[in-house]
Amino acid sequence: MDNQQLQVVLEMRGITKRFPGVLANDKVDLTLNAGEVLALLGENGAGKSTLMNVLIGLYRQDEGEIYLGGKRVEIHSPSDAADLGIGMVHQNFKLVRTMTVAENIILGLKDLPFIPKIQEVTKRIKALSDQYHLKVDPSAYIWQLSVGEQQRVEILKLIYRGASILILDEPTAVLTPQEAQELEHVLEILTSEGKSAIFITHKMEEVMAFSDRVLVLQQGKLIASRNTDETSPQELARLMVGREVLFRLDKEPCQPGDTVLELKDICAMDNRGLPALNDLSLEIKSGEILGIAGVAGNGQNHLAEVVTGLKKPSKGQVILNGKDVTQNSPLQMIQSGVSYIPADRIGMGAVGNMAVSENLSMKGYRKEPITRNGILQPKQITKFAKNLIELFRIATPTPATRIKFLSGGNIQKAILAREIDSCSGLMVAVYPSRGLDVGATESVRKMLLDQRQRGLAVLLISEDLDELLSISDRIAVLFDGRIMGVVPSEHVDSETLGLMMGGVPISALPDEAVS
């Protein structure tokens, strides 16, 4: 950094934020320089997002002060933050799904004409998307976009509105490795223009690649500050979780048994009536983890929905334990022993306003002892939940706490606990460690390996190639709804997988690439 970049643009002094029963931030200090990327690390629930929500005006601090350019400021709302040049890309996108990209980007802008000049807006969005390598169609509706494309819209919205301080909360959690590299280039362009970024992440390789400095939070307190070039992933992980973290798990040799799931020539349509899966055929055996790799939007979610009964294929067969279940309902698939960890843990995996105990009981409420003579038994629900909370180490004040108040990692643990408890044959896990800290990620991956050792079949859909390579036995690569090839995980590397994710079939690769 040059002298201009060392100019302090933001100071948060002694920030404290309390919620009922929780001290989320405890006298936290944060300094940000011009042209700097600051990484904010901590376990799920350490207070990172809360601190940033204070800065963006979603929360009001109970104690502490905020300074911009040396002047104290009061931020009461996101509108105040936007006026001060502060913008945030949240983990859970703030987009209107029924509106276009262009409409979302200008939504709420001040001094907007009664009838916006959409052509001019579209032209500017295209110019910015080209400049920052954030390709997106301004006329597309949000519901038509993949998760990765929606992330680009959020970043473009901040750039369009002229933000000088960008807060990125887990921005790469929904991106492929290639897209993450593009984001690094975006940050380089922004910081070269004097803008600054605060980067919340759990991926150590991205902390080392993207950031200039690192702050580590633990239980709401700032416990460490490091220059990125003076630390290591191992030290940062230890500071985050208070123990050594295994970056590669020991995996017993695969001992596959009988075929649990077989997909034969599956075709399916997306919400626009376009082909999403094209003559897809796969099989998974008991005691095996089959990984699915692919760039976002190439049919992964449709594959999971077909397997779990949420979507009916237009062609082909779904065979479960030798039986044709192609037309089975989701309930019938659950009763057949299929468990499902969805990509959207907040929207699909849990009911935020319901208690942790109620969320844990969702798969067992039809059976005794949770239900007796058609009537739910509250004491049995609590007893059942306490057992899973202890077994899976879910951090919650009480079983009656509404699940939306838990950290992302503990919500995911609760979903895993429920699905593992109810699973008797096949587990479908979609991005199970997305957005989780290194400790929670390690825990989730161990749980999946444990299910493999129990003899279950696991269909693991992930955009994290390290995850796929570390715990999968075989990896199938999906491109444009088609399987480019299936390879043993120990005989392939991320570069080869990247080529296949880009549409190169395994038959076109040299023999040494997958040997």
Question: What letter does residue 315 receive in the DSSP assignment?
Answer: E
By mean pLDDT, which of 38-47, 107-116, 498-507 is the weakest? 107-116
pLDDT-above-90 percentage for the chain = 53
Judge whether residue 245 has pLDDT over 60: no
Q: Write the CATH number of the domain with boundaries 249-337+423-515.
A: 3.40.50.300
Residue 269's SS3 state is: strand
What global pTM score does this model have? 0.70
Q: List the beta bridge partners of residue 478.
A: 483
Please tell me whether residue 36 adopts helix, strand or coil conformation.
coil
In whole angstroms, what is the distance from residue 34 CA to residue 193 CA? 9
Q: For Cα atoms 335, 339, 341, give the angle at the middle one, nearest 5 degrees.
A: 150
303 has pLDDT over 50:
yes
Work out the pLDDT band at 3, boundaries 50, 70, 90: very low
Q: Where are the domains of the chain?
A: 8-241, 249-337+423-515, 350-422
Q: How far apart are CA 308 and CA 6, in angstroms?
A: 53
One-letter-per-residue 3-state SS of 162-197: CCCEEEEECHHHHCCHHHHHHHHHHHHHHHHCCCEE
Q: How many Cα atoms are found within 13 Å in the side-chain-facing hemisphere of 4? A: 6
pLDDT tens-digit profile of 341-399?
998 888 889 999 999 999 999 988 888 889 998 899 999 999 999 999 988 888 898 99
pLDDT at 1 over 60: no
Tokens coding 324: 């044709």
Q: What is the pLDDT of residues 461-492, one digit of tens each?
A: 998 888 899 999 999 999 989 999 999 998 88
Query: Rounded to an integer, what distance in angstroms lies between the CA atom of residue 119 and that of residue 348?
Result: 36
CATH of range 8-241; options 3.30.1540.10, 3.40.50.300, 3.40.50.1390, 3.40.630.30: 3.40.50.300
Q: Is the pLDDT of residue 497 over 60?
A: yes
Q: How far is the CA of 331 from the CAs of 312, 323, 378, 450, in angstroms?
A: 14, 16, 23, 25
Contact 12, 28 (CB under 8 A): yes
What average pLDDT does this structure show over 210-229? 93
CA 204, 210, 213, 216 torsion-angle sign: negative
Reply yes or no on whether the pLDDT at 247 is more than 60: no
The chain-wide mean pLDDT, for the chain, equals 88
The rounded distance, in Å, linking the Cα atoms of 218 and 48 is 9
286, two tokens = 């008991």
Domain 249-337+423-515 in the same topology as domain 8-241: yes
Q: Which range has the top average pLDDT, 302-311, 409-418, 499-508?
A: 302-311
Phi, psi at residue 417, to the nearest 5°?
Answer: -60, -45
